[in-house]
Amino acid sequence: MSVAVTSRPQAPGQRGPLGRILDNERLLLGLSGVIIILVLWEIGSRAGAIDRGFFGRPTGIVEAGIKEVQTKRFWGDLTASVSEFGIGYLLAIGLGVPIGLAAGRFRRLQYALDPWLNFFNSLPRIALLPVLVIMFGVFGPASKIAVVFLGAFFSIVIPTMQGVRTTDRRFLDVARSFRASERLRFRSVVIPSTVPFIITGLRLGIARALIGVVTAELYTQTEGIGVLIRRATELRQGDRALFGVLLFTISGVIGVEAIRRVEARFQKWRPTTSLERR
Amino acid sequence: MDTGLALQARDVRMEYVDQATGERLLAVDRVDLDIVEGQFVSIVGPSGCGKSTFLKIVNGLFPASEGTIEIRPAAQGVAHAMVFQDSSLFPWYTIVDNIAYGLVCQGVPRKEARARAKPLIDLVSLTGFEKKFPYQLSGGMQQRANLARALTVDPEILLMDEPFAALDAQTRELMQAELLRIWSEASKTVLFITHQIDEAIYLSDRVLVMSARPGRILADITIDLPRPRRLEIKRSPEFIEYADRIWGLISTQLRPESPVAAAS
C-alpha cells in the first residue's frame, strides 16, 4: 500500500535508443518540412519563377524586418497594435470571467443574459466593425479596442458560465455535508472546477482578439501592423507585408504559450497524458 | 431521546417527484432506527431501495418528508460526517487539504487545519502522501483519505455510503479490516450503507435489511461474532449462516429485470 501511481512518463534521457528517436522524430521531421519549403521558396524566387513583389522570399522577409525595425513609424505601429490587443483582451477577461461566474451561479441572471449572449455569439462580429467605427470614431484606438473586446469577451464569458453550471454535484454534496458556507463552496468547489473552462475561453479569446486587431486596422487604416501590411502590399513590397504577417503569427504563438503556462500553473492536479504533452 | 443512544429515527418517510415523469415516488417508508453509542450498524438492501437516500437524510443533504431524526449533540466536534462513495475527494486539492477540508469549513485557518489533520493521516496510514493529488493515489488510498476527511471533524456518528463499492475485491477486503482497526481506535458510532452482505456482517454489530423501494426495515439482525474479527471469520459456519439468512431476506425483494432492480 505504498506505491503512488503517477502517469508521468519517464524522462527521455532514461529511455532506450528507440525511445530517443521517437521523441525527436516529430521535431526532426517537422523542422525538415519547414526548411524544405523555405528553400524551395527562396530558389523559386531567385530563379524568377515566383514574383517577389507578391510572394516575397524568406531572406527578403528577414531583410525587410531588419530595415523596418529601424524606422520610427514601425514602433508606432507596433505600439498601437499591442496596446489595442492588450487593452481589449484584458477588458474581455476582466469583465468576461466575473460575469460568466455570476451568470453561472445565478440562474435568473443567466436567463436575462442568454438572449444577448446568443445574439452576439452567433453574429459575425466583424460585421459590426463599420458601426463601431461610427460609434467610437475612426481615429484613435477606441473603435479597434471595441472590436478586440467583442471578439474575445463572448469566447470567455460563455465557457465560464457553462463551467459553473456543470460543477459536479458530488463535490457540492461533499461541501454541503461539511457545512461549508456559500462563499467557501464557491471558492473551494465551483471556481477550481471552472478553471479548465476559463482557460479554454482564454485560448479561444486570443485567436478572436487577434482577428479583431488585424481586421480593425485593415479597415480603419490609421496605424498598426495591419496598416503596415496594407501599405506594403499597395507598394508591391511582398517581403515587408509578410514581415507584418509574421509579427501577428508570433504574437499568436506567444499568446498561446502564455496561456499554456497559466494552465500548467493552475492545473497541477490534473493527470497529464503523454498525448496532451506532445 | 433515550440516553446512550447516538441516533434515533422515528417514522422517517421520503417522497419525491421524479423530474422526468412527474410521478410521485416513495423512496423511504416509515423507517424507525435506534443506534446505541459506539455501535457499528449496517443497512443492506437491493439496489435502489432507498438506503443511500436514508443516509443522505440523516446527513442533512435531503429533508425528510415526514418523521424525525435525532442525533445526540456532540460534546466536541460535530454530530455527523459522511464518507462518500468513490472519487469524492476534490481533485484540485492535495491529500492533506482534502483531509483538512471539514475543519476549514468550520472556519479553522488552513494552516491549523492541516496541523490538526496530521494525526488522522497517520491513523489511515497515508503518511508521506500529504502533498500528492488524488489522481496519484490508488482507489484504496483515496478511500482512506476520504475516511480521514470525515474523521478530522470528530463526528459523533460516521455515515458511510458504500465507501468500498468501487474497489476491487482484494482491496475491498483489506479496507474492511482496516476500517475495523480504525473504528476500534477512533471509537465512533458508524452507520454503514452497502449492498454487499458479507461486508455488512463482517463489519457490524447489527445488520438492518431494507426492502425494495419504498425502503422499509425488514429485519434487524444482531451479529454475535467475537471481536476483534479477522478476515478468516468470513469462512466460519456462523458467518455463512448469517449470510444465508440475510440473502434469503433480500432475495424475496429482488424482481429480476424490473426497472427498480436496475436503478441504483
Tens digit of each residue's pLDDT (9 = 90 or more) over B96-134: 999 999 999 999 999 999 999 999 999 999 999 999 999
Bridge partners (DSSP) of residue B206 are B41, B222
Chain A residues close to B84, C-beta within 8 Å: 170, 173-174, 177
By three-state DSSP, how is residue B154 classified?
coil
Say whether the peptide bond before residue B214 is cis (omega within 30 degrees of 0). yes
Asked if pLDDT for residue B252 goes beyond 70, the answer is: yes
Same domain? B101 vs B215 = no
A contact set with B (CB within 8 A): 1-7, 170-171, 173-181, 184, 188-189, 192-193, 195, 268-271
**Do A66 and A150 share a domain, yes or no?**
yes
Nearest-Cα distance to chain B for A5, in Å, is 5
Total of domains in chain B: 2
- Range from A55-59, A142-146, B3-7, B39-43 carrying the lowest mean pLDDT: B3-7
pLDDT at A1: 45
* Summary mean pLDDT of chain B: 89
- For residue A271, whether the previous peptide bond is cis, meaning omega lies within 30 degrees of 0, is no
Q: Are the beta carbons of A177 and B82 separated by less than 8 Å?
A: yes
CA atoms within 13 A on the CB side of B121: 21
Q: A103 and A166 share a domain?
A: yes
pLDDT at B72: 83
What pLDDT was estimated at residue A11? 52
Residue B219 lies in a domain: yes
Set of chain A residues whose Cβ sits within 8 Å of the Cβ of B140: 1
Check: CB of residue A167 under 8 Å from CB of residue A189: yes
B93 to A269: CB separation less than 8 angstroms, yes or no: yes
Orientation angle between helical segments A225-234 and A72-105, nearest 10 degrees: 130
Instruction: Report which residue type is found at A251.
Output: S
Q: In terms of domains, do A43 and A146 share one?
A: no
- CATH number of domain containing B28: 3.40.50.300
Q: How far apart are CA B238 and CA B247, in angstroms?
A: 14
A6: nearest CB among B134, B136, B140:
B136
Name the residue in chain B with its Cα closest to that of A181: B105
Residues A19 and A95 occupy one common structural domain? no
Q: What is the largest CA-CA distance in chain B?
A: 53
- Based on the fold, state whether residues B43 and B61 are members of the same structural domain: yes
Q: Directed axis angle between helix A72-105 and helix A107-122, to 10°?
A: 140
Which three cell numbers, joined as nine digits, stand for A152?
474575445
The torsion defined by the Cα of A24, A25, A27 and A32, in degrees rounded to 10, comes to 130
The model's pLDDT over B139-172, given as tens digits with 9 standing for 90+, comes to: 999 999 999 999 999 998 999 999 998 899 999 9
Residue B159 to residue B39: CA distance in whole angstroms: 12
Same domain membership, residue B56 and residue B26:
yes
Torsion of CA A187, A192, A193, A196, to 10 degrees: 140
Q: Which of these, B43, B34, B33, B9, lies nearest to B203 by C-alpha position?
A: B43
Do A164 and A211 reside in the same domain of the chain? yes
Asked whether residue B61 carries a pLDDT value surpassing 90, the answer given is no
Q: Are residues A65 and A46 both part of a single domain?
A: no
- B145 plus B168 within the same structural domain: no
Q: Indicate the helix (H) or strand (E) that contains A80.
A: helix A72-105
Residue A7 lies in a domain: no
Q: Which helix (H) or strand (E) holds B137?
A: none
Residue of chain A nearest B127, judged by CA positions: A2
Q: Note the pLDDT tens digit of each residue in B168-206.
A: 999 999 999 999 999 998 889 999 999 899 999 999 999
Q: Residue B263's closest CA among B49, B53, B112?
A: B49
Asked if A179 and A249 sit in the same domain, the reply is yes
Mean pLDDT, residues B48-59 taken together: 88
Does B231 lie in the same domain as B163? yes
Our CA-based measurement puts residue B177 at a distance from the nearest CA of chain A, in whole angstroms, of 14
Same domain, residue pair B167 and B188: yes
- A77 within a domain of the structure (yes/no): yes
Contact at CB, A184 and B140, closer than 8 angstroms: no
Q: Which residue is listed with cell 501590411?
A: A229
Chain B positions in Cβ-Cβ contact with residue A177 (cut-off 8 Å):
59-61, 81-82, 84
Question: Domain for residue B130, yes or no?
Answer: yes
Q: Residues with Cβ < 8 Å from A90, sequence gap 6 or more? A: none
Tens place of pLDDT per residue across chain A (278 aa)? 445 555 555 554 556 677 676 777 888 899 999 999 999 999 999 998 888 888 889 999 999 999 999 999 999 999 999 999 999 999 999 999 999 999 999 999 999 999 999 998 888 888 888 899 889 888 888 999 999 999 999 999 999 999 999 999 999 999 999 999 999 999 999 999 999 999 999 999 999 999 999 999 998 888 899 999 999 999 999 999 999 999 999 999 999 999 999 888 888 888 765 444 44
Mean pLDDT of B5-17: 89
Supply the range of the domain harboring residue B66.
Answer: 5-72+156-256
pLDDT, residue B235, reads 93
Instruction: Choose from A88-92, A274-278, B62-66, B84-88 the range with maximum mean pLDDT.
Output: A88-92
Residue B263 within a domain: no
The Cα–Cα gap between B145 and B223 comes to 28
Both A230 and A254 in a single domain? yes
* Burial class, A144, CB count within 10 angstroms (exposed 0-12 / middle 13-18 / buried 19+): buried
C-beta neighbour count of A256 within 10 angstroms: 13
Domain range enclosing A38: 12-50
pLDDT of residue B264 exceeding 60: no
The nearest alpha carbon in chain B to A193 belongs to B92
Domain match, B33 and B124 both: no
Give the pLDDT confidence score for residue B48 in this predicted structure: 79
- Confidence (pLDDT) at A272: 66
Residue of B nearest to A8 (CA): B136
Residues in contact with A120: Cβ distance below 8 Å, sequence separation at least 6, in sequence order: A150, A154
In a domain, B261, yes or no: no
Interface mutation vs chain A, best among B82, B92, B125, most A CBs within 10 Å:
B92
pLDDT tens for each residue of B213-228: 888 899 999 999 999 9
Chain A residues lying within 8 Å of B128, measured CB to CB: 2
Helix (H) or strand (E) holding A44: helix A17-46
For position B2, what pLDDT does the model report? Answer: 67
Residues near B84 by beta carbon (within 8 Å), at least 6 away in sequence? A170, A173, A174, A177, B146, B161, B163
- Determine the pLDDT at residue B75: 73
